[in-house]
């Protein structure tokens, strides 16, 4: 089975589904409304800015100008820059985003 490995300073992120992030879209879809004809599913999904880190490249956040320590590790939920990254998928799985480490802008932490 093939896997996607982020290289260098790249981070692999699984974006949350738009239904999980936007309650209005979730309610509309639960009511049976198809919003794709109006807004286009791809555009909606691209606007999602929350995801889960899947893998981290070997040199991610190693640059001293970025602090030199990882901002996030696999399993962390994070905010990332809108429209950042490249959508990639293998084996018919849901698309993942591969993005530069600096596009991760915040981690979601429990207090």
For the chain, which domains are there? 10-17+46-107 (2.30.33.40)
Q: What is the pLDDT of residues 2-16, one digit of tens each?
A: 889 999 999 999 998
For the chain, the distance separating the N- and C-terminal CA atoms, rounded to the nearest angstrom, is 38
The pLDDT of residue 82 is 84
The pLDDT of residue 52 is 94
Query: Distance between alpha carbon 64 and the CA centroid of its chain, in Å?
Result: 24
């Amino acid at each position: 089975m093939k896997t996607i490995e982020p290289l260098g300073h790249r981070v692999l992120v699984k974006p949350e589904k738009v239904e999980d992030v936007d309650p209005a879209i979730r309610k509309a879809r639960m009511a049976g409304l198809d919003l794709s004809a109006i807004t286009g599913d791809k555009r909606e999904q691209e606007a999602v800015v929350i995801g889960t880190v899947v893998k981290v490249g070997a040199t991610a956040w190693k640059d001293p100008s970025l602090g030199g320590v990882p901002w996030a590790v696999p399993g962390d939920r994070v905010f990332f820059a809108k429209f950042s990254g490249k959508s990639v998928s293998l084996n018919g799985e849901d698309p993942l985003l591969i993005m530069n480490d600096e596009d991760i802008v915040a981690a979601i932490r429990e207090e």
